[in-house]
Amino acid sequence: MRAGQIGGQRLARLTLGSRTRLRGACLGHRLLALLFGFGLRAIRDNPRRASAIGIASNVRVAAVYTLAATYAGIAGALLAQTTGFASLDVYDFHRSADVLLVLVIGGVGWLYGGLIGAVLFTLMHDVLAGITPQYWQFWIGLLLVILVLVGRERIGRMTARLLPARRQVAARDPRP
C-alpha cells in the first residue's frame, strides 16, 4: 500500500462526503485526546469537582454543544447532498427512536459506540427483516430489554471470559 491510500483506495478518489466524515472522525478523536477532552470527561464524572479544580464547566459544555450542532449541520448537509433533497421525513419519531436504539446498542459515553451501534442495528435489521419481515422490531426490542436487564458490563465480562478460552484452544490446535 502506498502513501495516501486507505484500504487500497486513493484518497483523491474518495467522495466529498467520505472525506468529510473521515476528517470529522479524526477531529473528534483528536479533541478527546487533548486537554479539552480530559476536561469534558472530568465534567461528565463530577461537575462540582471539575469546577473546584478550575475547569470552566459552563464554557466547555457550551463549546461541546456548539461542536455537536456543527457536526449535526454537516451531517444534514451531507444527507441532503446524498439524497438530492431535504424532506421532513427525517424528523419522524421512528427515526429518532432508531438513533436512540443505535446509541444504546453501541454504548453511550463511548466515542465509537454510535458507529458500532449503527453497524449492529443495520445488520440486525437486515437479518431479522429477512427472517421475519413483520416482527423484526420485536427481536430488536427483546435485545434492548436484555441489554437493560443484564447490563453491558456483564455481557462484556462473559465475552472476555469466552475470548481467552477460544484463543487458548486455537493456540493448542496443531492444525495449520
Q: In the prediction, which pLDDT does 104 show?
A: 82
The pLDDT assigned to 13 comes to: 55
| Per-residue confidence (pLDDT) for residue 165, from 0 to 100 | 53
Return the pLDDT at 34. Answer: 74
Supply the pLDDT for residue 170: 46
C-alpha cell at 170: 486455537
Instruction: Give me the helices (H) in 34-172, please.
Output: 35-45, 47-52, 57-83, 93-106, 113-131, 136-150, 152-172
Q: Is 135 helix (H, G, I), strand (E, B) or coil?
A: coil
Which segments in the chain show pLDDT lower than 50?
Answer: 1, 3-9, 166, 169-171, 173, 175-176
pTM of structure: 0.54
Q: Is 101 exposed, middle or buried (0-12, 13-18, 19+ CB in 10 A)?
A: buried
pLDDT at 111: 66
Q: Are 15 and 8 in contact (CB under 8 A)?
A: no
Closest CA to 18 of 67, 82, 70: 82
Is the dihedral angle over the CA atoms 79, 85, 86, 87 positive or is it negative?
negative
